Amino acid sequence: MGVSPRSRWSNRDDSSYKEKMTSKEWKPKSHNWGRSSGESSAAILLIGQVVSLASLAMIYAGSERSQISHSESYQTWILGGNALIVATASGLLSFLLLFRISISRKAPRRRRRLARFWLLLWSIAIISIV
């Protein structure tokens, strides 16, 4: 009668088992770094909301509406070019973070809805400022 598979695998002192375990090396899963999990979606949503508020504040502070006549008005940027670049970059960052949560399958439904609603409000505020 031979050795049963159960007794063979339950015996962890077997030298062939130890050789197989030591030959494996630990490798980080770099392909999973870009994915958002359900746990990280709350932090990403919060960061996206804060950055979108900051970008709205920067755009509002940098823009000035002037009226030429009673019916015509135009928008000018009163701050420097670097401030415009920072405001635009933060706006894009907030959009990408919130969009990432809104299309994520791992994020809970409530967070996806909140991200979509926040994107809608943010875009309405941007349009009304500009």
pLDDT tens for 89-112 read 999 999 999 999 999 888 889 999
**Separation CA 65–CA 83 (nearest Å):** 17
- List the one residue out of 129, 130, 56 whose CA is nearest residue 98: 56
Amino acid at 79: L
Q: How far apart are CA 121 and CA 26, in angstroms?
A: 45
pLDDT in tens, 38-85: 568 888 989 999 999 999 999 888 888 776 666 666 778 888 888 889
Cα–Cα nearest to 47, from 101, 116, 104, 110: 101
Query: Within a domain: residue 1?
Result: no
29 within some domain: no
Whole-model pTM over 0.75: no
The tokens describing 123, both together, are 């875009």
pLDDT score of 87 more than 80: yes
pLDDT band per the 50, 70, 90 thresholds, residue 116: very high
Q: Is residue 19 part of a domain?
A: no
Q: What range does the domain containing 105 cover?
A: 39-129
Residue 124 has pLDDT above 90, yes or no: yes
What is the mean pLDDT of the segment spanning 3-18?
A: 57
Asked if residue 85 is part of any domain, the answer here is yes
Structural domain count, the chain: 1
In a domain, 43, yes or no: yes
Residue 18 lies in a domain: no
pLDDT of residue 63: 83
Q: Domain for residue 100, yes or no?
A: yes
pLDDT of 76 reads: 80
In-domain check, residue 81: yes
